[in-house]
Amino acid sequence: VTSWLDKTLWPAVALLAAVLMGLALPASAQREAISSALSPEVAAEAFTDAVLNTCISAAAGNGVSGLPPGVRSRLQSSSDAETRRQAGATANETVWDVLAAKGVVVVHERPGRCVVSVYGPPAMQTVMGLAGRLTAQQPQPFERLVSAPPPNGYGQSLMKIENGKRIMVQLAGSEPGAPGHKSRFSVVTATVFATPAG
Span of 59-73, 132-146, 176-190 with lowest mean pLDDT: 176-190
Q: Does 25 score more than 80 pLDDT?
A: no
Do 189 and 48 contact (CB within 8 A), yes or no?
Answer: no
Going along 15-122, which residue ranges are E strands?
A: 75-78, 94-98, 105-110, 113-119
Mean pLDDT score across all residues of the chain: 79
pTM here? Answer: 0.77
Identity (one letter) of the amino acid at 157?
S
Rounded to the nearest 10 degrees, the angle between the axes of helix 40-50 and helix 123-135 is 40
Q: Which of 135, 157, 134 is nearest to 145 (CA)?
A: 157
Span of 74-83, 93-102, 131-140, 150-159 with lowest mean pLDDT: 150-159
Confidence of residue 23 (pLDDT cuts 50, 70, 90): very low
Do 119 and 173 contact (CB within 8 A), yes or no?
Answer: no
User: Given this model, what pLDDT does residue 146 score?
Assistant: 74
Give the residues across from 162 on adjacent strands: 165
Span of 6-15, 127-136, 137-146, 179-188 with lowest mean pLDDT: 6-15
3-class DSSP state for residue 3?
coil
CA 176 – CA 184 distance, rounded (Å):
5
Residues of the chain above pLDDT 90, percent = 55
- Residue range 49-56: mean pLDDT, rounded: 97
Cα 111 to chain centroid distance, Å, stands at 18
CA 91 – CA 149 distance, rounded (Å):
28
User: Given this model, what pLDDT does residue 61 score?
Assistant: 93
Going along the chain, which residue ranges are E strands?
A: 75-78, 94-98, 105-110, 113-119, 143-145, 154-162, 165-174, 187-196
3-class DSSP state for residue 130?
helix
Identity (one letter) of the amino acid at 83?
T
More confident residue, 58 or 88: 58
